[in-house]
Amino acid sequence: MSVGILLRQARESVGMSIEELSELTFVRRTVLRDLENDNFQSSGGLAYARGHIRNIAKVLHANADLLVEEFNAMHQDFDRPMIDLLSENSVTPTERTGTRVSFGLMAKAAAVIVALLIAIPTAASFVHSSKKSVKAATTSSVATQSLAAASTASTLGTTSGTTAVATKTSPVAVVVTANAGSTWLAVSDSSGAAVFSGMLTNGASRSFDDSQLINVTIGNAGAVDLNVNGKDAGTPGATGEVLHLQFGPGASSQG
């Protein structure tokens, strides 16, 4: 059951209106209505929405820890560093991420530099002596072949002197389609980075892919159908059921 439904049930169980709750919590009525509809945009960010939920739970004498736990499950940000949460809510500037350099590219660049260091002395010796030039050309050819073999071995990888061809992990593709109602949906990739977090309305569909792992949290499992790598996986659960799923070669479990 979603956080919005739990909040509305808690308010209605004590016979309190939106207007009365707004006066007691000092939270605007529009924000309260959005929270009860699982829309957290008007709260000003996830951290502020979480604060509103605790404030509302205190006034309604509801279980704040349970509500926040469900909220965290929806957004999968409960274990994120505080600096990320502050950045998300415009409290601190986002740190720029440096460009990653490919090890394969570095290996190729090193091979080119070594080849140049070998080729330059070889060319100089060719000018002074034709005999030395022939020998240097032969040496350069052998060195170039050795460098090419070393570059190939570096690319494929070697274990105990035996070349092992690296295999590319097959990617995983997941399509989530809301066919029987709306649901909140949270998706993260193999690095743990959030790919999507929000409502998936009835009739809408979202596609996700990764080379290793896709984490999917569904708030209303009975409302959606799944398609994994082009194959129909059907409806994963019952109406109102919250599921945490993993797909891909790196999945530890599914369901």
From 141, 163, 185, give the residue that closes a domain: 163
Domain annotation covers residue 110? yes
Q: 163, 187, 208 — which closes off a domain?
A: 163
Which residue segment(s) compose the domain that 27 sits in?
3-88
User: For residue 84, is it within any domain?
Assistant: yes
pTM over 0.75: no
Taking alpha carbons only, the member of 213, 229, 186, 60 closest to residue 52 is: 60
| CATH number of the domain that residue 53 is part of | 1.10.260.40
Residues 123 and 190 in one domain: no
Q: Looking at the domain assignment, is residue 252 inside a domain?
A: no
8 in a structural domain: yes
| Per-residue model confidence (pLDDT) at position 94 | 45
Mind listing the pLDDT tens digit of every residue in the chain (255 residues)?
788 899 999 999 999 999 999 999 999 999 999 999 989 889 888 889 899 999 999 999 999 998 888 888 887 654 454 455 455 544 444 445 445 555 566 777 777 776 676 656 655 554 455 455 445 444 555 444 544 444 444 444 433 343 333 334 568 999 999 999 999 888 988 888 998 988 889 999 999 999 888 989 998 999 999 999 999 999 999 998 988 899 988 777 444
Domain boundary among 32, 54, 88: 88
pLDDT in the model for residue 143? 44
- 47/82 same-domain check: yes
Which pLDDT score is estimated for 162? 37
Task: State residue 240's pLDDT score.
Answer: 85
Amino acid at 72: N
pLDDT score, position 154 = 43
- One domain for residues 69 and 115: no
**What is the tally of structural domains in the chain?**
3
* Pair (210, 231) in one structural domain: yes
